[in-house]
Chains A and B, each alone.
Chain A
Amino acid sequence: MIDLLSYGAFFLSVALSYAIICLGLNVQWGQTGLFNVGIAGFVAIGAYVSALLTTPETVDHLGGFGLPIMAGWLGAALATGFATFLIGALTIRLRADYLAIATFGAAVAIHLCILNLQSVTSGPFGIGFIPRPFANLADRPLAFSLANFALLAAVVLALYLALEHLARSPWGRVLRAIREDEPAALALGKSAVRFRLQAFALGGAIMGLAGATQAHFIGYIAPDNYQPILTFQVWAMLIVGGSGNNRGAILGAVVVWGIWALSGSAVASLFPAEQQARAASLQIVMIGLALCAILLWRPRGILGEARIMSRHVLRRSPPATPLPSTPSET
């Protein structure tokens, strides 16, 4: 029973770390319509920045600087936000499909940098001994898993509340307006480039934070953790949960990570050991099939896009007025 509880907390912790990435993608795609196919690269920046800031000093790579975990997370979010801003400044004017190609290229470049800048990142060997939150509980697996789960749940809740607040703000309203009709928004004085860049950088910062939380949860990172499959998983999560809906982003992360974990167990039990490495690709097939099935059942995702309005808009019921087709006296 304790093992089951411990595994449940571990499973949800991993799912919630993906939920953070999904929340970042929802700012970029769900609210603003920015087609980011370079998610893995932005997550990697956050993971490596936090790892370098918090690991003990070593000759194997830059630093580490031995800072507290929270400083690593903050540094990861800021550094990734800044990197995303720079990439966005070059690419944000591109049309959706070209932006996708550009962000994919950026992610490949980031992956190659991590792999080859050995003096900074330790290259293909990765970075180990990344401090884990609640390490003093490591000898008690259940307490350790529950504490990490509570921490990640608190991060997800804080992000969810902050992003809902932003979505209902004038800033969120302008983002939706630009997504729906850019020329009309421009005619109202809203600079599409400025608002898109802000949303892109904010989404990137959240992805960087997610990378940092994952790195500290697992304790070890390597370039292969940040392959395009990560980008595919996160997109599947957001689409399944409901693009444009922060709750959908969180739910999608849990559901798709559940399918991923279940399919992993199925592969392990159905195939002999020597074929399991090759059979692991069936996990991607199962995610694809699940994606198709859910979209056939719920084309806008499980929760669909939420209708978001400022709380001030709902302050009072509208006054009774003549029908629009009936001209009134002026």
Chain B
Amino acid sequence: MQSSHDPMKASAAKDAAVIEVADVVKAFGGLRAVDGMSLSLRAGEMIALIGPNGAGKTTMFNLIAGSLRPDAGSIRVGGVDVAREGPDRRIGRGVGRTFQIPRPFAEMSVLENVLTGAQAQAGERPWMNFLVPGRIAAQERAAVDRARELLDFVTLSRLELEPARVLSGGQRKLLELARILMADPRVILLDEPAAGVNPVLLELLIDRIVSLNAAGKTILLIEHNMDMVARLCGRAVVMAAGRLLAEGPPAQIARDPAVISAYLGDVA
């Protein structure tokens, strides 16, 4: 998570693109939801993907997250083309995602939800639980300690043994954040983190996202809340009709006539 102490190396690492999407196309029947879109995400950056309803943001997000496979174009993570890989391979590439409508494992405890995010657990192979029980127990204890730290981070500790179904919408977003952090991804994709979250909890969520970015996590978020985008992101990428419409600092984007026109519905 921390960059190198060598300033030259740190600068080079910052400039490297961790995600590089080039000329991606995704059609559903006759509708080209994403139509030749490109996007680059540099290490340590926090950017927003914005656009009017139907612009193709969620499709683009799902393409990057691996939930959809593109019809054309390439998606590179750390220089490797992952366009044909399934969503379960993304976390191994260091890319984690949350969902617009949170998807907790409702009947599992809050703590076990977070534990499910742990990677490379020997105990996930059934026979290993009988062959090396001591090693599995040690790994599980370490995972529980880490999960508890993350629940402290998102202030859900006191609910750790409750089933996730009892959480409010905002708490579920925090739980999803903790769950994906358990996998320790380099890049976090946040799908509308502010949607449906009460203002007090939203401040907490923003605070945690800023902390994560400051700690070196690269973050891409879809968000409609422009105040939040302006507070969080150094760069915003605007999509309309499946294509790139504009790109730049949020304050500049907000004044762009083409962007204003797209939001008012003039873009076909």
Contacts and interface: CB of A to CB of B under 8 A. Distances in A.
Interface of A: 162, 165-166, 169-171, 173-174, 176-177, 180-181, 183-192, 195, 198, 202, 307, 309-310, 312-315, 318-328, 330
Using C-beta atoms within 8 Å of the partner chain, give the interface range for chain B. Answer: 35 or more
Interface string B82-120: 000011111110001101000111111101100111110
B144 interface: yes
B53 interface: no
Contacts of A162: 130
Contacts, number: 152
B91 A187 contact: yes
Contact of A310 (B91, B144, B160): B144
A188 B155 contact: no
A326 B103 CA distance: 23
A72 B82 CA distance: 47
Given A189-B88, A190-B88, A312-B144, 20 more contacts: A165-B130, A170-B124, A181-B103, A181-B104, A183-B87, A183-B103, A185-B116, A187-B67, A187-B90, A187-B97, A189-B92, A191-B86, A310-B115, A318-B157, A318-B158, A321-B152, A322-B155, A325-B198, A327-B200, A330-B211
Interface stretch (B40-48, B70-78, B134-142, B245-253): B134-142
Contacts of B141: 312, 315
A27 to B, nearest CB: 10
Interface stretch (B24-32, B201-209, B230-238): B201-209
Contacts of A184: 99, 103-105
A309 B109 contact: yes
10 cross-chain pairs, A with B, having the tightest CB-CB distances, nearest first: A189-B91, A170-B123, A184-B103, A327-B204, A321-B157, A180-B105, A186-B87, A169-B129, A170-B121, A186-B88
Contact of B123 (A171, A176, A189, A320): A171
Given A174-B124, A189-B91, A313 B144 contact: yes
B183 A189 contact: yes
A188 B129 contact: no
**Most chain B CB atoms below 10 A, which of A165, A180, A189:** A189
A324 B156 contact: yes
B160 A166 contact: no
B226 interface: no
Contacts of A328: 155, 204
B240 interface: no
A321 B104 CA distance: 21
B134 to A, nearest CB: 13
Given A190-B116, A318-B161, A321-B155, A166 B140 contact: no
A186 B87 CA distance: 6
B174 interface: yes
Interface string B144-179: 100010001001111111000000101100100001
A309 B164 CA distance: 14
